[in-house]
Amino acid sequence: MSTHQNERPRPSSDPDEASGGTTPTAPGVEPVPGIHPALAAPPVTARVRAGLDRFVFGVAAAVALAFCLWGILAPANLGGVSGSALQWVVTNLGWFFIILATGFVIFVLVLAGSRYGRIPLGRDDEAPEFGTASWIAMMFSAGMGIGLMFYGVNEPLTHFVTPPPGTVEGSSDAAVRTAMATTMFHWSLHPWAIYAVVGIAIAYGCFRRGRRQLFSSAFAPLFGQRRAEGKAGRVIDVLAIFATLFGSATSLGLGALQIGSGITILTGVGELGNGILIGVIAVLTAAFVASAVSGVARGIQYLSNINMVLALLLALFVFVGGPTVFILNIIPNAIGAYFSDLALMAGRTGAAGGDATAEWLGGWTVFYWAWWISWTPFVGVFIARISRGRTIRQFVTGVLLVPSAVSLVWFAVFGGAAIAAQRGGDDLASEATAEAQLFGMLADYPLSTVTTVLVVVLVSIFFVSGADAASVVMGTLSERGSLNPSRFTVVFWGVLTGVVAAIMLAVGEDALEGLKNLVIVAALPFSVVMVLLCVSLVKDLRRDPMMLRRDAASLAVEQAVVEGLTKHGDEFTLVVGTNGEDEPEAVVDQERPRNSPTTWPLPTERR
């Protein structure tokens, strides 16, 4: 006869009884009669109550409109306040952004390498929604945008001529290495790890737990469902809207600067003032509104597909027509320099370099980390939507590696070409502003007028597509997680983003400085939200049905083996199966030949 050696209670139809009163049902998993909470399959469809969330939309809109009114009536005052706030944040909390960004890299890598990496972002048996090739292609599109167009030439060139304080001599051979390493540090693993944190939390909560596509929903494990859906959760959604608003406005402002520079070159007029730049923003915002009301399929999706092809053609043109061998040489050099200097760059603060380093960090590293944090609601939701069915390990691998590879190639092509031109005597760094350096480099290539027009078109489409995507995310947050927010809400946030971009251009000592000032300050409160998001995500994953099943199985087998050895020595057989009631259990079978000893596999034999 078989003797039961596992003292663990059998599953019961009562969830509380089944869990022994100590294992609560995981958040988002409804108790199923006759099924242990650990065996319950998570829902995949959230119940969304349609309509505008008046609190979230009202508070976010009121504060944003008040900011716009402040910028219109007293731009100098707003500029002074934002400058002082920036100085305080960089001086007193620059270390926080530095630690936070590296902490996110470590967090997602540990998550992917741990047992939680096997958890799918969907049902246990759910296949990925998109094939690997399509998924990588869409990830590639997420890695492109106004930022790469603006900084593709400017950042490597700037770091080559003026390296970070305390590093190497400018315009030297060593400066090439430092320039590419610093650029890759700002555009590869760190920003995409920041996005991955939000992407995992949103995808896991939405596709595996059946929650709404809201930031507040991801805090249910930490705050409880009632608080996550109450005022505390709504405040989090308001902060997410603010972060998206200012992060998107920064990108749109950079795009307007570059478009204005292209217009200057094409028309031959003098330097454009803020008035003309604001006009550029107004025209492109109107184009976004037209795209939004025309429908996604006929509007922005078509333009985005064209833009990807145009961007690849531009990169190929520069690669073939420029210093091809130098560009090919700079790719492995950039990879080696990046990993060699990673620890130094990740730990750089004003403690060692003084005011010069602190000022440099505020203009580069801290600005970037704040900018990426402010972009997480948009990019995080995007990569979450396309990653359903992937495991967390697959998600982290794809999100970190694919866009990082895109950034490496992009900066090697454009940055390498600019550095080669600078070393050859073409002083791009001093003759052109940041937004005009790309055009200055293309002026030395054939068909410079055509490529200048192409860049203006590229940035314009990136502007329109960025405003559309960001406003949809803000609309989703304003309408209780609706995946298809109303046109009014989308257009409202899109227009307001354009207005904020125009104000940010006008309040700084120069346009670029105004953009940087406000995004760093605006990202600070949301960075705290992201820290709490990590805590909530880990708490959620620990109670994942797959993890609970494996823990229960391991405990059952362990108890059966211990009891078998204690009572019967080596004379027993461990049997894992089901009883007459189709309930899983581990038992010890004593009816076995005594001359057939139990075989225990060596560690190397285990799979």
Nearest to 176 by CA among 310, 376, 326: 326
pLDDT at 37: 42
Ordered by start, the domain boundaries in the chain are 2-42+547-605, 58-524
Q: How far is CA 285 from CA 36, 465, 467, 499, in A?
A: 53, 10, 8, 9
Long-range contacts of 357-361 (CB under 8 A, 24+ apart): 357/164, 357/165, 357/166, 358/90, 358/91, 358/94, 359/90, 360/164, 360/165, 361/90, 361/94, 361/98
Q: What is the per-residue pLDDT for 144?
A: 63
Alpha carbon distance 385, 284 (integer Å): 27
- Give the pLDDT confidence score for residue 515 in this predicted structure: 67
The structure tokens listed for 382 are: 């995007």
- Name the phi and psi angles at 307, rounded to 5: -65, -35
What integer pLDDT is reported at residue 32 of this predicted model?
A: 41
Q: Which pLDDT band holds residue 512 (cuts at 50, 70, 90)? A: low
* DSSP H helices in 508-544: 511-542
Q: What's the rounded Cα separation, in Å, for the pair 234 and 373?
A: 19
Using 50, 70 and 90 to split pLDDT, how confident is the model at 235? very high
Beta-bridge partners for 574: 588
Between CA 536 and CA 407 the distance in angstroms is: 31
Residue with more model confidence, 62 or 559: 62
- What mean pLDDT is predicted for residues 137-158? 82
Under DSSP, the state recorded for 15 is: H
Residue 589 CA: distances (Å) to CA of 10, 362, 565, 567, 577: 18, 69, 12, 12, 12
How far is 433 from 266, CA to CA, in rounded Å? 16
What sign for the dihedral angle of Cα 504, 509, 511, 514? negative
Query: So what's the pLDDT on residue 353?
Result: 75
Give residue 173's pLDDT band: very low, low, confident or very high (50, 70, 90): very high
Segment 482-488 mean pLDDT: 85
- Which of 186-195, 322-331, 356-365, 591-600 shows the lowest mean pLDDT across its residues? 591-600
Distance of CA 109 to the CA centre of its chain: 14
Q: Which parts of 408-527 are beta strand (E)? A: none
Q: How confident is the model at residue 88 (pLDDT cuts 50, 70, 90)?
A: confident
Q: What is the residue type of 489?
A: T
Average pLDDT, the chain: 82
Instruction: State both tokens at 367.
Output: 């600005």
Name the residue with tokens 């997480």.
376
pLDDT score, position 289: 78
Could you please report the per-residue DSSP string of 105-132? Answer: HHHHHHHHHSGGGG-BSS-TTPPPSS-H
Q: At what angle do helices 487-507 and 75-113 cross, to 10 degrees?
A: 120
Predicted local confidence at residue 605, as pLDDT? 38
Q: Which two tokens stand for residue 405?
A: 């590879």
pLDDT of 400 over the 90 cut = yes
Is the pLDDT reported for residue 465 higher than 60? yes
Q: What is the pLDDT of residue 313?
A: 94
Helix 173-187 × helix 146-161 angle, to 10°:
150
Helix (H, G, I), strand (E, B) or coil at 3: strand
pLDDT band at 81 (very low <50, low <70, confident <90, very high): confident
In angstroms, how far is the first alpha carbon of the chain from the final one? 31
- pLDDT category, 36, cuts 50, 70, 90? very low
Query: What pLDDT, on a 0 to 100 scale, did the predictor assign at position 489?
Result: 93
Question: Tokens 């495991």 sit at which residue?
Answer: 391
pLDDT at 508: 59
Q: Check pLDDT > 80 for residue 140.
A: no
What pLDDT does 225 receive? 87
| Topology adopted by domain 58-524 | Amino acid/polyamine transporter I (1.20.1740)
pLDDT band at 299 (very low <50, low <70, confident <90, very high): low
- Position 479 scores a pLDDT of 92
Q: Which of 2-16, 291-305, 501-515, 546-560 is predicted with the least confidence, judged by mean pLDDT?
A: 2-16
The residues near 141 (Cβ < 8 Å, ≥ 6 apart) are 304, 308
pTM (predicted TM-score) = 0.82
**SS3 at position 440:** helix
Q: Which residues contact 228 (CB under 8 A, 6 or more apart)?
A: 216, 217, 219, 220
Comparing 132-141, 283-292, 521-530, which segment has the lowest mean pLDDT? 132-141
Q: Are strands 573-578 and 584-589 parallel, antiparallel or unpaired?
A: antiparallel
Integer Cα distance of 245 and 11 in angstroms: 49
Q: How far apart are CA 474 and CA 489, in angstroms?
A: 8
Dist. CA 192–CA 403, nearest whole Å: 8
Does the pLDDT of residue 505 top 70, yes or no? yes
Mean pLDDT, range 186-197, rounded to an integer: 95
**Per-residue pLDDT, 602:** 38
Confidence of residue 4 (pLDDT cuts 50, 70, 90): very low
Q: 176: which 2 tokens?
A: 């090439």
- Are 405 and 397 in contact by the 8 Å Cβ rule? The answer is no
Comparing 19 with 180, the larger pLDDT belongs to 180
Q: What is the pLDDT of residues 20-34, one digit of tens each?
A: 333 334 444 444 444
Residue 510: φ, ψ to 5° = -135, 165
Q: What is the pLDDT of residue 201?
A: 95
Q: Which residues contact 74 (CB under 8 A, 6 or more apart)?
A: none
d(CA 490, CA 475): 5
Average pLDDT of the segment spanning 488-506? 88
